[in-house]
Amino acid sequence: AAVAPVKSNSSSSSNNNNQDNDNNNTNDNNLRDNSMKRLDQISKNVLQNALRFTGRLRVVEAPRGGIDSNGEEEGPAAHQPGVTIAYALDSYGKEGSGGGTTQRKSRKGGGGARKSSASSSSTSSGAALKEKRLAAYADAKWGKTRRLAAFFDPLDGSGNADAAIPTGTVFGVFDADAAFPRGEIPDMKDTASLARAVLQPGNSLLAAGYCMYSSTTILVFTLGGGTHGFTLDPTINEFVLTHPNMKIPKRGNIYSCNEAYSEGWDDNFKQYLKTIKTGKGESGQRYTQRYIGSMVGDVHRTLMYGGIFCCPSDTEVHHNGNLQLVYKSAPMAYILEHAGGKSTNGENNLLSVKPERVHQRSPCFMGSPEDMDELMTYMSGEQGASQ
């Protein structure tokens, strides 16, 4: 009888300790989530301010709740920070339109002093020369009458920042007019109207790229005629061409995906992974997994070394995939395809999918062409049925 109270107190103490640990873990997770949200907000603000500083862009934000093809917001999270969209105030290089007047006013209003004080600087002269060359290239490639809309994911992988794991910025450029019926002009003051400019399939992109912040800062982009990589040289504060005309290997031996969700994956995809992991695939090699958890880092490694990056849908959590089509998977697939790679959503080419909402998610698979061809034989059921 004397032992019972002691046992009871010990059990109660243990329960209290467990409860305290749970509370501490919850508090730690909440602090981490709040820190990540603040970092997302800061990176978004820095990017938007830099874009506005040019005096050439109207910068808008598509809410996290999403904007459908009718320009309507949806979802309960519309108050949260969203993807940044920069819309050219004027047809590139074109004079005389209302947008051009706005552009010139913004330069006079905020940049007059800067312009006069910097005009004698050789650095400023060099920047102006580069700007003229870029404008000439844009005029030759896209014409002077196009209105361009650029979108940005300011900091992909922000949840990894505290661990010094690679993060990155993803961006893309569309011909904005192509998203509107012939003759319709988007309302420059209406966020929903401007957000429609990026509701286009990835194969309509004019340019796409990413900047990865890791042991070095690397910029990779394509204008549709090859993919090129630049490395930041901090001694001159310039990006230097270090990887011209990048080509993804035709086949790799690395797969990249989060296998924590594998229970809910399609059986054909699970059979594909089982086959390549055991060395029974077409190459005869045993594949190994590499997964950072930052899309920019994982796709960059896939581009450099070959293999396959996968973010499939699952029946448990990510019913439509986990990555946003417009500003994550489509521009990255565009970059890889112009480096010789391939992509799919499991059924169709990823770049052929037309999004209905800015924040629409989609399954995505991209990588080396031979690995992707082999994957599709499983996704279509051909290989799964024969094994």
Give per-residue pLDDT as tens, 330-354.
999 999 999 999 999 999 999 999 9
Answer whether 37-245 and 254-386 agree in fold: no
Other Cβ atoms within 10 Å of 237 Cβ, number: 8
Q: What is the three-class DSSP state of 47?
A: helix
Question: Which amino acid, one-letter code, is at 82?
Answer: G
Which of 3.20.20.10, 3.40.190.80, 2.60.40.1930, 3.50.50.60 is the CATH number of 254-386?
A: 3.40.190.80
Residue 331 to residue 353: CA distance in whole angstroms: 12
- Residue 98, pLDDT > 60, answer no
Give per-residue pLDDT as tens, 34-77. 666 777 777 777 777 777 776 666 676 765 554 444 444 444 34
User: Please, what sign has the CA dihedral across residues 227, 59, 325, 169?
Assistant: positive
Q: What is the pLDDT confidence band of residue 31, given thresholds at 50, 70 and 90?
A: low
Query: Which pLDDT belongs to residue 113?
Result: 31
Q: Which string of DSSP letters, residue by residue, matches 133-182? A: HHHHHHHHHH-TT--EEEEEEEEETGGGGGGT--EEEEEEEEEGGGGS-T
Closest CA to 170 of 131, 213, 130: 213
Q: Return the domain boundaries, the chain.
A: 37-245, 254-386
Residue 267 to residue 270: CA distance in whole angstroms: 5
Q: CA angle, 309 as apex, 196 and 261 as ends, to 5°?
A: 90
Query: Which pLDDT belongs to residue 102?
Result: 33
- Residue 2, pLDDT > 70, answer no
Six token digits for residue 72: 């309507």
Q: Is the pTM of this model over 0.85?
A: no
- Residue 12, pLDDT > 80, answer no
Residue 331 to residue 172: CA distance in whole angstroms: 6
Query: Which pLDDT belongs to residue 126?
Result: 44
For the chain, give percent helix, strand, coil, nearest 5: 45, 20, 35
Q: What is the pLDDT confidence band of residue 382, given thresholds at 50, 70 and 90?
A: confident
Query: Which pLDDT belongs to residue 206?
Result: 93
When the pLDDT of each residue in the chain is averaged and rounded to a whole number, the result is 77
Residue 306 to residue 160: CA distance in whole angstroms: 23
Report, as an integer, the average pLDDT of 187-209: 86
Q: What is the pLDDT confidence band of residue 94, given thresholds at 50, 70 and 90?
A: very low
Which of 3.30.540, 3.30.1390, 1.10.10, 2.60.40 is the CATH number of 37-245?
A: 3.30.540
Other Cβ atoms within 10 Å of 344 Cβ, number: 21
